[in-house]
Amino acid sequence: MHITLVLPSVGRKGKKYIKTWTMEPLAIAVLASLTPADVKITFFDDRLEDVDYDAPTDLVGISVESYTSKRAYEIAAEYHKRGVPVVMGGYHATLVPEEVQNHAEATVIGDAEPVWAQVVDDAKNGRLKKVYRAERQTLSSEMTIPDRSIYADKKYLGITLLETGRGCKFHCEFCSVTAFYEGDYRRKSVDLIVEEIRATGSKQVFFVDDNIIGDVESAKELFTALIPLNIKWVTQCSLNAVKDRELLDLMVKSGCVGILVGFESIAKDNLVQMHKGQNNGAKDYSGALAQLRQRGVVIYATFVFGYDNDDAGLIQRTVDFCREEKIFIAAFNHLVPFPGTPLYGRLKSEDKLLIEKWWLDPDYQYGDISFYPKSVSPDELTRLCLVARNEFYGVRSIIERSLDFHANSKSPKWLFLFLLANFMLRKEVMEKRSLMLGSES
């Protein structure tokens, strides 16, 4: 049997893709690791190469996110023309299976681990079912070492992606992870994580967990086990890490050099509305940032604009805050109602969705606002997000923020990394803006 796995792009401009997005796709390597050894696997990364629809195959597996769903359906249609069955899985397949089912012979809802072997076996025997639902979350013991040999002929950014756990215990209204895992959080076994890092041989790791300290005790165990590996790592982490001195010290000792923190807003009212009341707003952030800076940890601060209090003034104050705090890099994301999230349900019930299925809309471009915000018009919000990004990544701001000698430019190497990251993201702002979803035609 021969299976072809495909990772669709959000949309490509000719042969070009957003450079900062071209990282190793873990889901594909996980699927490869779960596939029986006698099955041949081919992998096409639509972000980097053309999909060869005519290459012989018995089954196609496509990983679908909301932004890539339109392109995924185009790819599936090409395979259907050639009589090849398609199975889809991933975030979008899990959160809107009723839509995805219209484009695939089989749809996997939830994690692949509990069901993938069955899918492969059923496909082999010509009895694919319309839906495979992982009835439970993946057990820690079922998590595998992803088969990274699948990336062999691809050119990705030089950082190894690795998960130490899955899910998140918080309940942020806009988040697809919460909707997917329903507040559950599972950690892989620490021995397996160490074995995996050793097997990759990599010294630069991105732990893709949504919150690496989702379980504090196992996080401490993990960080302790990482110390002898002598790696440098970055991750996503909630701000309460700074409240536990032992945890924070272990993090840094084990090689943590940067964290992405979802600050989301500097305004408490917004934080309460998005169910992220665990963050307290600007004053609290400054103290936490000082602790991280003292330890040399650089910050990727992410904010979301579109909640009720977000007007021109608050957005400008957020940018000012990031400049004053000399944030390493920041994302000023427009609020996106991802289907299947509580946010999507709320905006729909309040009749505030402007484009109900924005992910399929032929005119939708990355950055467009698909709902009616309370304080500004949709177009104004798009503009304000762009203004914020352009100011933060303006040359003057970059120079000012580089003058943080504890973290951003603690050494010439770090100054170089700071400038590289900032100029790459400066370029990305415009590249993303005019990006249409799906193929160009």
Instruction: Give the residues lining the site for ligand B12 (CB under 6 A).
Output: 10, 21, 23, 25-27, 30-31, 47, 61-63, 65-68, 87-92, 95, 108, 111-113, 116, 161, 163, 175-177, 208, 210, 333, 338
The answer to whether 87 touches 52, Cβ cutoff 8 Å, is no
Give least dist CB 90 to ligand B12, A.
3
As measured in angstroms, the least distance from the Cβ of 326 to ligand B12 is 22
Work out how close the CB of 321 gets to ligand B12 at its nearest, in angstroms, rounded to a whole number: 21
366's tokens: 């990355």
| Rounded Cα gap, residues 112 and 273, in angstroms | 33
Residue number closest to ligand B12, CB atom:
89
The residue assigned the tokens 């002929």 is 153
- Minimum distance from CB of 177 to ligand B12 (Å)? 4
Distance CA 361, CA 25 (A): 26
Q: How far is the CB of 406 from ligand B12 (least distance, A)?
A: 25
Take residue 83 and report the two structure tokens written for it.
């009589």
**Which letter does DSSP use for residue 32 in this model?**
H
Cβ proximity to ligand B12, 30 vs 190, nearer residue: 30
Burial of 60 (0-12, 13-18, 19+ CB in 10 A): buried
Residue 18 or 288 having the CB closest to ligand B12: 18
- For residue 356, CA distances in Å to 23, 88, 232, 438 come to 30, 22, 42, 17
Nearer to ligand B12 by C-beta: 151 or 372?
151
* Closer to ligand B12 by Cβ: residue 303 or 404: 303
Place of tokens 């099955």: 39
10 Å CB burial of residue 270 (0-12, 13-18, 19+) is buried
Q: How far is CA 128 from the centre of its chain?
A: 30
- Check if the beta carbon of residue 164 is closer than 8 Å to that of residue 193: yes
Question: Looking at beta carbons only, is 214 or 373 nearer to ligand B12?
Answer: 214
Residue 5 or 266: the one with the smaller Cβ distance to ligand B12 is 5
Beta pairing class for 204-207 and 185-187: unpaired
Neighbours of 351 (CB within 10 A): 7
CB nearer ligand B12, residue 27 or residue 213: 27
Q: Going edge to edge, which strands form the sheet with 59-63?
A: 40-45, 2-7, 59-63, 86-89, 106-109, 131-133
Least distance from ligand B12 to the Cβ atom of residue 23, Å: 4
The pair of structure tokens assigned to 173 is 């209204």
| Minimum distance from residue 333 beta carbon to ligand B12 (Å) | 6
Closest contact distance (angstroms) between CB of 223 and ligand B12 is: 19
* Nearest to ligand B12 of 21, 423 (CB atom): 21
Backbone phi and psi for residue 108, each to the nearest 5 degrees, phi listed first: -100, 125
Using CA atoms, how far apart are residues 225 and 281, in angstroms rounded to an integer? 33
Instruction: Report the candidate in 248, 188, 180, 184 with the shortest Cα–Cα distance to residue 218.
Output: 188
Residue 90 or 255: the one with the smaller Cβ distance to ligand B12 is 90
What is the nearest approach in angstroms of ligand B12 to the Cβ of residue 116? 6
Distance of CA 187 to the CA centre of its chain: 18
Token reading at 93: 């397949």
In the complex, the smallest distance separating the C-beta of residue 60 from ligand B12, rounded to whole angstroms, is 8
User: CB neighbours of 284 closer than 8 A, spacing ≥ 6?
Assistant: 239
176 or 279, CB closer to ligand B12?
Answer: 176
